[in-house]
A and B are shown apart, each in its own frame.
With several copies, the nearest count.
Chain A
């Protein structure tokens, strides 16, 4: 197989050496056409696959959501029950009185703040209580995402 590949490579030899300057018109055009085609082919394959699993998941998601909700509730109940007897990780906010979080603030945000506080308390054996988190009127998520990237990602 590899012999075959080598032979082919010899035959075709369409690689361009980096220091070559007088590129023929065919070579140039071929680079352009190949390049654009390959980029399109690659991304079209991705479109097909992403669309495909997007559709599959749309169906799954709907039923999964319902399930997940039920499960989460059950788990929360179980956890609350187990809280007295079970070993708990320090930054697990579940066992502390739930902070008063304004509607619409994602749990991750609260967790992030809890994490930051817990890290400060690390090793102290104390646990901080988050009393409440307020958010300003939420803007559309994409704005803030772009804003964050603008500040963090001009690479």
Chain B
């Protein structure tokens, strides 16, 4: 009898601690909706091929974090709170208690440390740098202008978000989606967002990667609308070959100039250029191979699943999530448009030597945006090879986004 009682007790207790019970707790229904949303993103990643390398881990993190009582991620551990620091005699209002996280954190809390300590995005940039060929940009430095113009999307979206009365951190985090660069978005949002923010790092990342996957759908109509048939038909010549020494000096020069101008961009730009220098050096192949592959893959897995884990039901199931998605696509479209418009200006100034279609590649989203320029160009002149010319603005867009991120971080803090 006592055994049956004890068995029943244990069973009841397990039932109460189960996730099913959690669904009936306050706000538990939101978790169900979030799990359904995670299924949607899994479908987009696997079924439709939307940036699966990132969206699949993110969506699985979203599933795990919304399983009640699984305690794999604790948002409350990551809220800044105030602490009186005796040594300094001041109040630190950005205090995160790492001792508590190490003691009581779940698996995803521990892995999320790499996001909050700001090491995953720069290390992914290390790998990207080790894969990127800046040759087209060095051969045609004016591409930098297009990479700068396309960042206009970021700043105009800042206006939009501010008009919707969002906080400065939200505005900056949403705006950076227009940079079309995942690690940069995560880098900025994980530094700025607080517990009072409407967004989470995860929703920003979801929007960024979703729209990056949608580049082939979002960009072409804008490109066709803003350019004339004549402009799109411009055939561009071959780029000059770039010597090894130029490729070696480039990463050092960019690091120096950008990091000195905008120190807050230094970790991203510095690591991007470090990876590129390793690659161009030609004598560190074993390091380059690891930076491009294993290191990047390990961090991608950790980054994806933990960023997904930040999509708390409270953050996502709200009008604000809609705002993020809406403003995200606005940011993207504005960026594309800004790039194209400067392209048109350059078309005029160079008396028709530059095809404005390469301007839309300035949003980054390497290399898809450049391929879209190529494709839309070929619709007019099938033998026109714009890809090489679009790669310049494309990689300039990566640098441009990192600079824009640095500016936002310097202003909002």
Contact = CB atoms under 8 A, between A and B. Distances in A.
Direct A–B contact in complex, judged by CB atoms less than 8 Å apart: yes
Interface of A: 1-2, 5, 8-9, 12, 14-23, 25-47, 49-51, 53-54, 57-58, 60-61, 64, 85-87, 108, 115, 123, 140-143, 145-146, 148-150, 152-155
Given A1-B24, A18-B194, A145 B148 contact: no
Contact of B145 (A18, A35, A43): A43
30 contacts: A1-B24, A1-B25, A9-B13, A14-B9, A18-B413, A19-B169, A19-B194, A20-B168, A26-B2, A27-B6, A28-B162, A28-B163, A32-B158, A33-B3, A34-B14, A35-B411, A43-B148, A45-B261, A46-B144, A46-B257, A51-B141, A54-B138, A61-B243, A142-B388, A145-B133, A146-B387, A149-B366, A150-B368, A153-B131, A155-B182
Interface string B154-168: 111011001101111
Does more than half of chain A's interface fall in helix, strand or loop, or is it mixed? helix
B14 A38 contact: yes
A14 B7 CA distance: 9
A35 B407 contact: yes
A31 to B, nearest CB: 6
A26 B54 CA distance: 38
Contacts of B144: 43-44, 46-47, 50
A36 B223 CA distance: 22
Contacts of B358: none
Does more than half of chain B's interface fall in helix, strand or loop, or is it mixed? helix
Contact of A34 (B10, B212, B285, B368): B10
B328 interface: no
B6 A32 contact: no
A2 B300 CA distance: 37
Contact of B26 (A2, A15, A39): A2
Nearest to A19: B196
B54 A46 contact: no
B253 interface: yes
A53 B6 contact: no
B401 to A, nearest CB: 9
A12 B24 CA distance: 20
B135 to A, nearest CB: 9
A147 to B, nearest CB: 8
B54 to A, nearest CB: 7
B258 to A, nearest CB: 6
B411 A14 contact: yes
